[in-house]
């Protein structure tokens, strides 16, 4: 198992400006142990370029629902019009080789210390959200490894499951967040390309195996450039506007 920090990021959503800013921070910190939790494409203007960057880096990546929607009609049918607009743009822009790469991505990735997936471990093909007590308990029933990393909601948090199905939720702070040594923990790593927690900065998570704690990192990026590219691509205006507010 790697003893160096592990960076886990998710929900890039074709936002190349945000992804490049996060990549630059990882490079500056000399962190190359990275897992991507999917939704590389969708919503914004640069699906092909984001895939190319991730593939060049050789990051382990799992499938997200927007990635899946390029070749899966049922996944498209679960999406609203704005989400489908981003998928249609990706269908036009993403090369055949990159589409094959997306189609080859696993639903989850397991390591000795953690499992990585895009959405809930419960009924993963239906892409459920971890948004309430019921969905969290269903997820934890499927979580066999003490530590799990997810994305999908675009909202960073730590959820701990204790004996007798007691749950507690830790909202991220700039400080280190120690993780419990017993029970199960699931960490939502937030979103690189479209945060929805009121903070427009790109978000990703660092996990430190030696001390068993996480840090949520926020990275400023050129939001106006990302918005301009979205508008130029003819995507829905709200996909651009929401980036400035982080919702």
Each residue's pLDDT tens digit, 211-235: 999 999 999 999 999 999 999 999 9
pLDDT at 73: 85
Is the pLDDT confidence value at 90 over 80? yes
User: Hey, where are the domains in the chain?
Assistant: 6-242
- Tokens representing 19 are 């992804």
pLDDT at 1: 45
Is the pLDDT confidence value at 2 over 70? no
Is the pLDDT confidence value at 95 over 70? yes
pLDDT at 97: 97
Q: Give 135: exposed, middle or buried? Use CB within 10 Å, 0-12, 13-18, 19+.
A: middle
Q: Give 151: exposed, middle or buried? Use CB within 10 Å, 0-12, 13-18, 19+.
A: buried
- Tokens representing 186 are 């699931």
Is the pLDDT confidence value at 87 over 80? yes
Under 8 Å between Cβ of 192 and 9: yes
pTM here?
A: 0.94
Other Cβ atoms closer than 10 A to 212: 15
Each residue's pLDDT tens digit, 131-163: 888 889 899 999 999 999 999 999 999 999 987
CATH of domain 6-242: 3.60.21.10
pLDDT at 124: 67
Q: What is the mean pLDDT of residues 109-123?
A: 91
Give the torsion sign (CA, 1, 204, 194, 140). positive
């Amino acid at each position: 198992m790697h003893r160096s920090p592990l960076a886990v990021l998710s929900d890039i959503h074709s936002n190349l400006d945000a992804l490049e800013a996060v990549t630059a921070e990882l490079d500056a910190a000399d962190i190359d142990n990275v897992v991507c939790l999917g939704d590389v494409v969708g919503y914004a203007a640069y699906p092909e370029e984001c895939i190319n960057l991730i593939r060049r880096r050789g990051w382990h990546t799992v499938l997200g629902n927007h990635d899946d929607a390029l070749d899966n009609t049922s996944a498209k049918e679960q999406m609203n019009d704005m989400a489908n607009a981003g998928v249609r743009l990706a269908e036009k822009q993403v090369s055949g080789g990159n589409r094959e790469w997306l189609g080859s991505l696993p639903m989850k990735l397991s390591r000795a210390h953690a499992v990585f997936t895009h959405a809930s471990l419960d009924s993963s093909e239906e892409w459920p959200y971890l948004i309430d007590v019921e969905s969290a308990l269903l997820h934890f029933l499927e979580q066999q490894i003490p530590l799990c990393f997810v994305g999908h909601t675009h909202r960073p948090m730590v959820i701990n499951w204790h004996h007798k199905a007691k749950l507690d939720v830790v909202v991220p702070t700039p400080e280190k967040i120690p993780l419990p040594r017993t029970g199960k923990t699931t960490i939502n790593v937030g979103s690189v390309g479209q945060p929805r927690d009121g903070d427009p900065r790109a978000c990703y998570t660092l996990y430190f195996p030696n001390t068993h704690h996480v840090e949520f990192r926020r990275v400023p990026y050129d939001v106006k450039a990302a918005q301009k590219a979205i508008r130029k691509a003819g995507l829905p205006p709200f996909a651009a506007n929401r980036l400035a507010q982080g919702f």
